[in-house]
Each structure stands twice: as C-alpha cells, then as structure tokens.
Structure 1
Amino acid sequence: MADTPQTAPAVKPANPNFSSGPCAKRPGWTVEALSNALVGRSHRSKPGKARIQQAIDLTRELLQVPADYRIGIVPASDTGAVETAMWSMLGERGVDMLAWESFGEGWVTDVAKQLKLQDVRIIKAPYGELPDLAQVDTDRDVVFTWNGTTSGVRVPNADWIKADRKGLTICDATSAAFAQDLDFPKLDVVTFSWQKALGGEAAHGVLILSPRAVERLETFKPDRPLPKIFRLTKAGKLLEEVFQAATINTPSMICIEDAIDAMEWGKSIGGLSAMQARADANFKVLADWVAKTDWVDFLAKDPANRSNTSVCFSIVDPAVTVLDDAAQAAFAKAMVSRLDKLGAAYDIGAYKDAPSGLRIWAGCTIEASDLAALMPWLDWAFAEELQALKAAA
C-alpha cells in the first residue's frame, strides 16, 4: 500500500464518539441541556404531559409527518415500537418480510417463530446487498428496515410500494429518520428511537401510524394475547391518549428533555433538510477517503443504496482477505482496539453478527471535521496491524 503513514497522526477527532447507537450527542451538548427536565414530577401532570406533547410536536414538525398520522412514544426503544406494530397488526393477511441485515432478520424470526404466522414470505439478500424489491407484493403486509444499520444498505426510495396497496407497510426507520427522505404516503407504520440520528437517550421508541394503520387496529383482532405494552386499542377503538402525550407506561422525563433538546437543535440549524445535508456531507468525507484508499471498501455494493448514517466498511487488502474469517475478524478488532486505547475513535467495530470490518456513524450529530481527522488514524491503524501481521507470519 503506497504512502501509508507509519507515525501516529498529530490531530485526533475533537469528539471520538462514532458509535452507531447510542450515537454522538448533538454538537455543543452538555448535561446542562437537561436542567429543565421534570425530574420528580409525574408524567401525567399538566407540565409533564406538556413536555411529552412538545416532543411529539417537534417530531411531526422536523420529520414533516402528515397531519393525519398519529405519533406516540412507546416503551423499549425502536424494538418495542416495531414489536408493538407487528403483534398488534399482523395476521389479517399474508406478509412479506424483507431482510438484508441483522435487525431485519430479527423481525423475520419474530414473525415466523414467535407469532407463528402461516402466510409469510421471506425475501432476503446477503450483507451488502438489497433484496429484489420487485418481488414484494404490497397487497400483502410488508415489514422492512429503511436503512440496514448493521450493513450500511438502505432502500433508495419507496417507488416499489404501490400507492393503492391493500396491505400495510411497517417500516423500521431507526437509523434513517432525520437523515434520509421517508416517503410517508407510502408508509403506514414508521418507527425509530432517539438514540440514533438524534443522539438522544435510549429506552424509548417512537411509533407513527397512518390512518390505514389505525383502521387495521380498529378492525382486526389478533388471535393471540397482547402484553399491556403492546395494546393500542380498547373496546375496538384506538387508545387516542397514547398519541396525545399519555404514554402506555412511565417514560423518563430526562430522556424526554434530551429528545426535545436534540430536536430544538435540529430546528436551529435549518430543520430536516439541514440535518440531512450534514449527514450527506459526513458521508462524502468517508466516500472521498475510500476512493483514494486501496485497503478498504464499502460493504454496500451499490452506491445508490449506501447509507449516509451507519457506514460499513470491509477490509479488502489481499494480505487480510487471504486469512480465514476468524483471523480477518481479529485483524479488524485489533484496529478498533488500537484506536480506542488512544482515544482516537470509540466503538467503530462491525456489528457482532455482520461481516468483519468497520462501522462509522455519520449522522447529523457528527462533525465533518471529526471524520476528516479520523481518516488518517484509520490508515495508520491499518498500517500498524498489517506490519504486525507480516511480522508474525
């Protein structure tokens, strides 16, 4: 490899937090941002409900959610939001399950093995690729991730979803929301969690329902028991209060305040388009580096489908690719560990179930200058580990 630096770079990222969840806090964040949190107050008090409603209103404004869609805050992060939708709505008709990374695979497992639905079609692709979206029948229900957090592969658009579909589309958008265009008229259920693109705190999920999703809830009664945290109806009618700041269970008012702070910051920089532009600019830093670096490549094969948030890389240097899978994984982990110990980058290893490599969060709360500072460190860490590999041979 030509021109590889053999001495450690002089400048580290000012913020070395590049985790894909919980992600970096918004620029300038300090704990003082939480000073107005209603700690010790009931979430059902008038000011408590007002703060929860503020989080819902900011979500609608920033994400440009249609006025007739409901927005609620639910337990258990994005996972809780997706599970609530699947357990409450699936089974009325056949369902197409899309999977091209670990979270999509998890939804497949839950539908096929836990809900045990009979009419399930599984449409899959390996890491780095998208399934053939032309195979999807949107007159059936469809469950998919908009952005595969553990593969760095996203759907390019929602053109493959019919406007006059008969089924519901359930979209896990947790690492896409606030960074990518979500085509709400094509989406009936949208879920995400604050700890991704907003850099917020974990444990809460956001559930967005179209009028068609509400109709399903009010007309379809699943033939299975529903835990309390999944129940969105009572006596055949939507529990409207869940979408009017009366959460199913007690939320953390600190987490609510942190989400409000992140979204107020998003508004202050120019709203959704500005947040997306920051993620796109961050991705460009990474793409420009890959273009001139011969030891690394994107895990996502098609440029049109590459995520601008959870960016995944494969180490493609021949000296590494000739190794067995375990040795390749060890090489990548050694790079990650080296950078972690030096405080140059934290939590940039590939997801545990994904192919070995690196994963770097590039969402809007990341500064492009920090990514630019990180790139020489990646080259240096690779060179160090390659030298160690050759010395051990």
Structure 2
Amino acid sequence: MSESLTPPTIKPQNPNFSSGPCAKRPGWSVTNLQNACLGRSHRSEDGKAKLTEAIERSKKILGLPADYRLGIVPASDTGAVEMALWSLLGQRPLDILAWESFGQEWVKDVVDELKLSDVRLMKAPYGSLTNLEEVDFSHDVVFLWNGTTSGVRVPNGDWIPDDRQGLTICDATSAVFAMDIPWEKIDVLTYSWQKVLGGEAQHGVVVLSPRAVERLESYQPAWPIPKIFRLTQKGKLIEGVFKGDTINTPSMLCVEDVIDALVWAESIGGLSGLISRSEANLAAISKWVEQSSWADFLAEKPETRSCTSICLKIVDAGFTSLSTEDQAKFAKKMAKLLEKQQIAYDIAPYRAAPPGLRIWGGATVETADIEALLPWLDWAYTSVKAEFAVAA
C-alpha cells in the first residue's frame, strides 16, 4: 500500500465513531423527540405507556422467548450488571471470564465487595479469548458476549450447555442488537441503550430467564441489597419493573429517544437488518486490514472479531521497536490528528488497552462512512510516523 502525506479528499459524512455513547441513527434529529412525555410523572398513564412501549419493542426486535422478562433499570449497563451480581450470586461457586477491562471490573465486585471466596477467574490477555471448554457449568458463570475494549467476542453459544446447573450472567452491552444471541443459553443479560441503538446513557436493561426468576424467588444473599438493585419483595419478583414501573425515576426524553431508535430498527428489518449493517462495517475494515502494511486486528482469531467495537493494533516493525510509552503517544497522536481534521472522533483505544485504534461499527454507523475513514487512517499513520521518525 502506498504511503502519502497528501490527505484524502473524501470525508465521512458522520465522524462519530465513539464506542459509547455511540452515533445516533441515520437521519436522527432532536425534532424526533417532540412527542416525549415531558413534565409528567413516569408513573402517569402516559408515562408508563411510553416505558411499556420501549420494553415491548425491545422484546420484539430481540426475539425474546415469551417467558423471558425485560426491564429498565438504573445506572446504565454497569448498574444492570451489578444488580445481577448482588442479587443472584453466592448460592453456587462462580466462574468469571475476563479478557478485557470490564470483565476485570466484575472480578473486583465479586471478590472485593461481595467477598465471595469460591471464585475461579478465567483470564486471557487483550486479543485472546479464555478457554471456553474449561468453564464449569455446575457453577454460576459471568462473562461478556463482546469485549468492548478488546474487540473480542465469543463466536457463538455452543459452548454453553442446555442442561447447566448454574446461571449464565452475560454482559452484552456492545453485542445486543448487533449479534445473534441464543436466548436459551442465557439466564441474565444486561445492556444499555447507548451502544448499538445509539441511545442516551444512564439507563440499563436487564433480561431474566425463568431460571433466573426462580433463583431470585428462592435465594436470599447474605448481604443487604441496595434499593436500586432490588428485584424482589417478600420473596416474589417485582413484576412491575418489567411492565414499565421503574425502580427509580427515568428520563422520559431518553425513553422517547430509544423508542425512536427502535422504530428505526424495525424499519430496516429488525434484528437481521441491524446485524447485517454491523457485519458490513466489519467486512469493510477486514478488507482494508488485509491490504494494510501497518494495521491488524487486536482480536487474534477471525471468528472472535467484534463487528461493533472494532479494535486495531499497529504491527509495523518501526512502531513495535518504539518504547511502550512512545507507542501509546503515537496512537494517541493519530486519534487526535483525525479528530482535529473532523474525520473521526473518539477512536483512541480504551486507557487500559494496548496502543492502537478503536472504531465503533455498530448498526447506526454507515458503511460508506467506514469506507471513507479508512484512507484517512493510512494518512494519519504516515503523518505521525514521519513525526516520530519511525524507520520504514
């Protein structure tokens, strides 16, 4: 591939490639929110109807089984995950899988805060996936479907047995609506609106299987449960949470925004349309990577490469000869240069991840914008390489 300091001529129409909050859906405008239930109680008939609409549209697009429940909960995906950990763990031993930063955060929760002792950490470095064959499903299992900061996803759900004894608790915030989730393999799944739907932050979603509900109603953890995590009352599931009665006050503006995103998702073919758009973005980057002399995927195996949080590493020999500190500076300068040119915003890697770039490829991102971005990545690399006097 030729290298040039002459910038390309075509720019992405939308330079928002952040991994969260993510790009709004194509054609979005604040005027789409004019029917929001503002200045009203979320517990009013109209407010509750909006919340119920968001729940029901989500269930339909995701293809949830009829006996699964979906509820809107506080504090984004983090709140939803912690709600599951605090409410459900402790009855069985735990296997917790971690191959990026957020997986490691859940380890801190269960070991340092809940102080569970019968915990097996199954860890892999950035770019790799833990050995799924070693998971013990007589234990509860906590894992991510897609590593937002590593760009590594599980290839499928075949590794999860249908006759498992423990619960599977899955953080799928950067996977849901962009990847096919086999619901029969999942007991608890969490996400937020700010990822593939391009919604606003601070609201989480929790999905419960009948097995998870049975655990909630039959098991009381040894620790106190904060109010915003409580899903049961007097030993019974609080069904209202899954019918529009939220635990705390939601933003009705954010609710209207996610309804708008869900209506758009339905208009492009629902889940299959969303998945196709994300996979097309990955395919465009894959084609470019095959020809690149300096970039590669952080995810080592093709079947584990994310179609949403697409993480790239720099493999040029001149770059790899730099110190770790200079490598980090190099990648940061690339991201800053692209931001200054209004080509791509927020594509620096997560602070704990290896130096490189992270490009959001979720369904709200147009493939034409991805294709327009790629020559600019070459330009930015060549420009920064010259500044660092990296050898060819």
Secondary structure in 2 matching 1:373: helix
Structure 1 residue aligned with 2:95: 96
Structure 2 residue aligned with 1:313: 312
Structure 2 residue aligned with 1:48: 47
Deviation at 1:53, TM superposition (A): 0.3
CA distance in 1, matches of 2:239, 2:165: 24
Q: How does 1:1-393 map onto structure 2 within 5 Å?
A: 2-390=1-389
Q: Structure 2 vs 1, CA of residues 367 and 117 (structure 1 numbering), >3 Å: closer, same or farther?
A: same
Q: Structure 2 vs 1, CA of residues 220 and 138 (structure 1 numbering), >3 Å: closer, same or farther?
A: same
Contact 2:319 2:390 in 1 (8 A): no
CA deviation map 1:286-313 (0-9, x unaligned): 0011000110000000001000000000
Secondary structure in 1 matching 2:389: helix
CA distance in 2, matches of 1:114, 1:127: 25
1:352 maps to amino acid: R
Contact 2:318 2:390 in 1 (8 A): no
Q: Structure 2 vs 1, CA of residues 392 and 131 (structure 1 numbering), >3 Å: closer, same or farther?
A: closer
Deviation at 1:5, TM superposition (A): 2.5
Alignment TM-score, normalising by the size of structure 1? 0.99
Q: Structure 2 vs 1, CA of residues 159 and 331 (structure 1 numbering), >3 Å: closer, same or farther?
A: same
Find runs of 4+ consecutive structure 1 residues off by over 2 angstroms. none
CA distance in 1, matches of 2:222, 2:175: 33
Contact 2:177 2:196 in 1 (8 A): yes
CA distance in 1, matches of 2:151, 2:331: 17
Secondary structure in 2 matching 1:126: coil
CA deviation map 1:290-337 (0-9, x unaligned): 000110000000001000000000011111100111100000000000
CA deviation map 1:96-117 (0-9, x unaligned): 0000000100011111111110
CA distance in 2, matches of 1:181, 1:335: 33
Deviation at 1:392, TM superposition (A): 11
**What residue ranges of structure 2 are gaps of 5+ in the alignment?**
none
1:11 maps to amino acid: I
CA distance in 1, matches of 2:8, 2:360: 21
Deviation at 1:162, TM superposition (A): 1.0
Contact 2:150 2:299 in 1 (8 A): yes
CA deviation map 1:175-213 (0-9, x unaligned): 000000111001000100000000000000000000000
CA distance in 2, matches of 1:153, 1:370: 23
Secondary structure in 2 matching 1:205: strand
Alignment TM-score, normalising by the size of structure 2? 0.99
CA distance in 1, matches of 2:39, 2:291: 54
**What residue ranges of structure 1 are gaps of 5+ in the alignment?**
none
Deviation at 1:390, TM superposition (A): 1.1
CA distance in 1, matches of 2:320, 2:289: 17
CA deviation map 1:82-101 (0-9, x unaligned): 00000000001101000000
- How many residue pairs align between the two structures? 392
Percent identity between matched residues is 60
Deviation at 1:389, TM superposition (A): 1.1
Provide the aligned C-alpha RMSD in A: 1.1
CA distance in 2, matches of 1:129, 1:8: 34
CA distance in 2, matches of 1:319, 1:164: 51
Deviation at 1:391, TM superposition (A): 7.9
CA distance in 1, matches of 2:34, 2:283: 36
